[in-house]
Structure 1
Amino acid sequence: MMTVIGGVDADRLLKDRHRAMWALGDYPALAAEVIAGLGPALVDAVGVHPGEHVLDVAAGSGNAAVPAALAGGRVVAADLTPALLEAGRRVAADRGVAVDWQEADAEALPFADGAFDVVMSCVGVMFAPHHATAAAELVRVARPGGRVGLLSWTPGGFIGQMFATMKPYAPPPPPGAQPPPLWGDEDHVRGLLGDAVTDVRVERRTLTVDAFATPEAFRDYFASHYGPTIAVRGAVSGEPERAAALDADLVDLARRADRGPVGGPTVLDWEYLLVTARVAGGSTA
């Protein structure tokens, strides 16, 4: 049962905050400039074939949806944030592919059971606050014998550590909300999918990022482009000492992880977990 506060559904309020957070900054630019390689990696791993019906959950601006369409899939891209969908429409038009963009909550997908051959998410569904609910939806809308593909930042990798760095400065999460990087933990994901899937394949990979000249440039880019970082900085904006400490901690994180040459650029390895599985039952064709 949903928690009710003042007659208003608390879950809806939480989703409204998420929707607003991801509209901050310029995530579509970050997706194109920094992590563009992730979407094609997921599409290749899950094996999208021409004519297959594909759902990209928490699709953002189409980092995986557009490559799936380029591979010949009939793609629906679903996301909670209308601003990201609008950006995705522009990206798809520029690439000359057709994608069906739909506003949707990853925890309550508006699609029929077994509607898709492939259901995937690229650093997207991991931000849904209730992991078991989101995982159940991923499996529900995939046909028996269909495939699920997930790409998520790991807890111990750079982005997972960035969230750990920001946590002391962020407001406490609402009851029941789980940390996004848990989706990058193999045991956690296997537990979420359970016996609803078979043929589970798990691989840790690394995205090498050399887009930032210095650790300070990394901090400034995320402070202007990445909704979660912007939101946490906003939470301490009225406390100059804490705001300065957060900024220093983000620079220190990048400096410790930097394996680039003396004098730059900063070179960072961002670890992610790539999971593919087949939904139990049905044909494997």
Structure 2
Amino acid sequence: MIESMERDRAVKAGHRQMWALGSYAVVAAEVIPELGATLVRAAGAGPGDRVLDVAAGTGNAAIPAALAGASVVASDLTPELLETGRALAAERGARLDWQQADAEALPYADGEFDRVLSCVGVMFAPRHQAAADELVRVCRPGGTIGLINWTPEGFIGQMFATMKPYAPPPPPGAQPPPLWGSEDHVRALLGDRVTDVVTRRQAVMVDRFANPEEFRDFFKAHYGPTIAVYRAIAGEPERVAALDQDLADLARRHSEAGRMRWEYLLVTARRAA
């Protein structure tokens, strides 16, 4: 038991360190700025609602929810992201609470929130069922759970598949993040504890990058998971060059007329009474 707890702490520490690398705020602001507001609208968050954003990062969903009039708690495992989020919220005039919390063990009461959201965040918790159980637990009966997750078949899902051969093996029990973008997987995770499940495959159109190499270099500089993979192979120049080529080729395959289509799954569900 003690050994298991120590492994879990080490896994969580690794996740915190990974997401503190680079600058996720730049990715959220320059590449996918509209995703959070899309989720807030789909979940119907507004005045009078108590909202929890799980794995909130720098507040891509939490800040729009607060600006829509909701009372918002933004929770994340990585304190560096929360600090950046606080500054961004202040710049936009949004008032909300920022709290460090583990998506697999949320420090909130049963049914504490009217709407529980996560925008490409909770999908990165290693134990999917544990995280899903917490999403349901803290949502009040009749409340709404709203998620946006990258799909396995979409660009970001394929990016993780491309990086996998170069990355260290995942910890025991960890599941691939893009599985959260599968309708069947999410329905199985939430089970009969929710009703009125609606899933929609949508896409964000990305025109931030002039060419595939610019995309690759941007993610090498700013996106924690990509930075971590490159650090793992830093002493192997041939593998670094191969990953450089693989990521550029992936971006090239998903580009058309200077734009990239990044597919995601939008999920809304109602907590059963």
TM-score (norm 2): 0.99
- Deviation (angstroms), 1:3: 6.9
**Matching residue within 247, 263, 268 for 1:276:** 268
Q: 2:163 matched to 1:171? A: no
1:124-135 aligned at under 5 Å gives the runs 124-135=121-132
TM-score (norm 1): 0.95
The SS at the match of 1:178 is: coil
- Deviation (angstroms), 1:152: 0.2
Q: How many residues align?
A: 273
The SS at the match of 2:262 is: strand
**Matching residue within 71, 74, 94 for 2:91:** 94
Match of 2:135 in 1: 138
1:49-88 aligned at under 5 Å gives the runs 49-88=46-85
1:268 maps to amino acid: M
Deviation by residue 1:192-220 (Cα, 9 ceiling, x = unmatched): 00001000000000100000011000000
Contact kept, 8 Å, 1:3 with 1:11, in 2: the verdict is no
The SS at the match of 1:62 is: coil
The SS at the match of 2:141 is: strand
Q: 2:216 matched to 1:224? A: no
Q: 2:12 matched to 1:20? A: no
Match of 1:243 in 2: 240
Contact kept, 8 Å, 1:78 with 1:102, in 2: the verdict is yes
**Structure 1 segments of 4 or more deviating over 4 A?**
none
Match of 2:144 in 1: 147
Sequence identity percentage = 68
2:211 maps to amino acid: T
The SS at the match of 2:33 is: coil
Runs of 5+ consecutive residues of structure 1 not aligned to the other structure: 261-265
The SS at the match of 1:4 is: helix
Q: 2:159 matched to 1:162? A: yes
The SS at the match of 1:112 is: coil
Give the whole-Å Cα distance in 1 for the aligned partners of 2:206 and 2:255: 10
The SS at the match of 1:211 is: coil
Q: 2:22 matched to 1:30? A: no
Give the whole-Å Cα distance in 2 for the aligned partners of 1:49 and 1:226: 31
2:248 maps to amino acid: V
